Amino acid sequence: MSERLQPGDVAPAFTLPDADGNEVSLTDHKGRKVIVYFYPAALTPGCTKQACDFTDNLELLAGAGYDVIGVSPDKPEKLAKFREKEHLKITLLADPEKTVTESYGAYGEKKNYGKTYMGVIRSTVIVDEEGRVERALYNVRATGHVAKIIKDLGI
């Protein structure tokens, strides 16, 4: 289990394939703020709600200078299905090895119905224009999370 990021930390660099198999790097977004969020699985109810909320608010976020990237352990093919089915406009990246998810502290012990297991911790990291962590939020709820981010950022 990796350390959770703190404000001021340098955001771990990454390059991952998107839903179309194209490589996307954090450095591609230098000069813009980036909301990098980690979710357990495409095409599941909570993750769909969260992805749709980000898509619905993408214009508002982009207008305030934020790009949105969703990262999950799903393969690009599943991300493409997710994007098509839900008409998502956000960038979805595949991290099947969970290396980026772990480097952001978004993988670890979870509890569900009394069972403890390892998995993706629903998390959001906001990276500033210089590539530093502005905010790091862990164990967030899928519902209402995007509205909370918008309120907290004063957008």
Across the strands, what pairs with 132? Answer: 10
User: Which of 34, 47, 68, 80 is an active site residue?
Assistant: 47
Task: Give me 16's structure tokens.
Answer: 């991952």
Buried b (16+ CB within 10 A) or exposed e, 37-69: bbbbebeeeebbbbbbbbbebbeebeeeebbbb
Asked if 47 is an active-site residue, the reply is yes
Q: Which residue has the tokens 């980690």?
A: 38
Helix, coil or strand: residue 133: strand
Supply the residues annotated as catalytic.
47
